[in-house]
Amino acid sequence: MTTEEMKRRTKEFAVDVALFTPKLPFNPVNKAYNSQVIRSASSVGANYRASRRAKSNADFINKLKIVEEELDESLFFLELL
C-alpha cells in the first residue's frame, strides 16, 4: 500500500466513525464512548501523517506504534458501542 493510499484510508476511517456515531441512541454511556472513539479514530490518521515526517527510522517506528495504539483503542470503543 502506498503512502497516499494509507493517508486516504486513515482519513476515511475517521470520517466513517464521525458519520456513524451520531446514528447511535443518545445516552450518557454512548456520549462518552462516542467522544472517545471520535478522538482516537481521528488520531489514527493524524499520527500516521506525523510518522511520514519522522526524523529517523526509530522515530518512524515509534510513531507507527502510536498509530497502532490509537487504532486498537478505536476498535475497542467501537466494540463497546
Which CATH number belongs to the domain containing residue 58 in this structure?
1.20.1440.60
Domain of residue 74, residue span: 3-20+27-80
Q: Which residue has the cell 467501537?
A: 78
Whole-prediction pTM value? Answer: 0.91
Task: Please state the domain count of the chain.
Answer: 1
Q: pLDDT tens digits for the chain (81 residues)?
A: 999 999 999 999 999 999 999 999 999 999 999 999 999 999 999 999 999 999 999 999 999 999 999 999 999 999 999
Quote the CA–CA distance of 12 and 4 in Å, as a whole number. 12
41 burial via Cβ count (<10 Å: 0-12, 13-18, 19+): buried
